[in-house]
Amino acid sequence: MSAGVLTMPVVVRISVGAKYGAQHSQDFSALVAHVPGLKVVYPVTPYDAKGMMNSALVGTDPVIFFESQKLYDIGEMFQADGVPEEYYEIDLSEPSVKRVGTDLTIVTLGPALYTAVTAADELAERFGVSAEIVDLRSANPLNYDLLVGSVRKTGKVLLVSEAVERGNIMQTVASNLTRICFDELDGPPVVVGSRNWITPAPEQEAMFFAQPSWLLDSVHEEILPLPGYQPTTNRTTGELMRRSRLGI
């Protein structure tokens, strides 16, 4: 409206996700990502959090900075030297490869990164499937170059976050990857999110938030059959249609 004359260097730091309890644990990243003009980031490692907070603070745009309180006791797992004491910045639009793989791309946003790591370990140990894990770190802005390179390499992509599946930002990413990588994909991208329910009490969170077994179920049912695997949940397209019809 001001033709770039006015700036709004505001960073809103918000804790979301599991461990808050009934109703309060919802992940509303898609809600704010839908608002034009907002930058929406969700780092989930200490190294990423520091670098992205620095970038957000020196910018001139409003940034919604999500964090998950359930990760406060998890140290840096992906940077061998830990978090540097000196100042550094991380481009808010750049995803990060957290694990290199060849058979399947798993794209994450938020704490689902750690769910994906557990699932990737099991895929490798039990089935010899090498999964590449890419953490978006940001819902908007988002540079697709790294994602496209990974998907073109593996031909298969699973996307996961702790937001409910309906309207999940991963649905947008999956749609865009389908358009960009259509010729290289062996099948459609698969999105795994939380149930389309009101967030339950902490004692029932394992029934609500995406679990490692859900990722394996989705890989087996919709992407790459796993020899001898027995699914624990129904991830078929028929079940997807049934839940959609019921609004759950």
- Residues designated catalytic: 24
Considering only CA atoms, which of 194, 231, 205, 238 is closest in space to residue 216?
Answer: 231
Q: What is the 3-state secondary structure (H, E, C) of 166-204?
A: CCCHHHHHHHHHHHHCCCCCCCCCEEEEECCCCCCCHHH
Q: Which two tokens stand for residue 148?
A: 């496209």
Residue 209 DSSP label: S
Alpha-carbon dihedral angle through residues 149, 125, 48, 30, given to the nearest 10 degrees: 70
